[in-house]
Amino acid sequence: ANVLLIIDAAYSEYVTRNDYETGIELVATTENTVMCRTFSKIHGLASLRIGWMYGPAHIVDAVNRIRGPFNVSTPAMLAGVASLADTDHMQRSQAHNDQWRGWLTDEIGKLGLKVTPSVANFVLIHFPATGKTADAADAFLTKRGLILRALKNYKLPDALRLTIGTEEANRLVVAGLSDFMDAK
């Protein structure tokens, strides 16, 4: 086929469910599929622009022919290797994420807002199309210094994306959403 399927598994380290497949199986059984991973999420190395790709040899060869010769710096490579070795950090991050994702989902649901089930490090909050809209919530929260991601450009105008943060940040967002929903 002349189509390349790219599986972006950027959030896979956050998934603790047993029924999740990363895409490795599909890559291993097809000639037109690659899986990409990043060190930007659970590893916290976004500014280093480091990641990796798994795919069939002919695709890896083609990518190697067009990429720059020094596309990843030595410090970035060393940080990536160190991050992979720090399994304690990954386990703590997964546990924190699991705890607060569940808490946020429950607390936001109690406010009358719908939250799409998630296995990643963020939740998707849905607002009514009129009245207490996503735009109004975004403006209200931004005035309090709470930044969520508006999703209009992703054809989700009635939703905001909340990245799971520290306990303090999570509690502030829920309090802000509660105040927003209670405001006249």
What's 143's domain CATH number? 3.90.1150.10
- pTM of the predicted structure, to 2 decimals: 0.85
Residue 161 C-alpha from the chain's centroid: 10
52 and 16 within one domain: yes
Amino acid letter, residue 8: D
Q: Is the dihedral of CA 118, 126, 115, 98 positive or negative?
A: positive
What's 35's domain CATH number? 3.40.640.10
Q: How far apart are CA 39 and CA 78, in angstroms?
A: 12
Q: How far apart are CA 144 and CA 121, in angstroms?
A: 22
Q: Note the pLDDT tens digit of each residue in 163-184.
A: 999 999 999 999 999 999 998 7
Residue 169 C-alpha from the chain's centroid: 17
95 and 164 within one domain: yes
177 and 132 within one domain: yes
Q: Note the pLDDT tens digit of each residue in 85-114.
A: 999 999 999 999 999 999 999 999 999 999
Domain boundary among the residues 85, 119, 139 is at 85
Q: How far apart are CA 141 and CA 112, in angstroms?
A: 17
80 and 92 within one domain: no
Domain carrying residue 144: 88-182
Along the 184 residues of the chain, how does pLDDT read in single tens digits?
Answer: 689 999 999 999 999 888 888 888 999 999 999 999 999 999 999 999 999 999 999 999 999 999 988 889 999 999 999 999 999 999 999 999 999 999 999 999 999 999 999 999 999 999 998 899 999 999 999 999 999 999 999 999 999 999 999 999 999 999 999 999 998 7
Maximum Cα–Cα distance for the chain, whole Å? 60
Tokens of 7: 């599986």
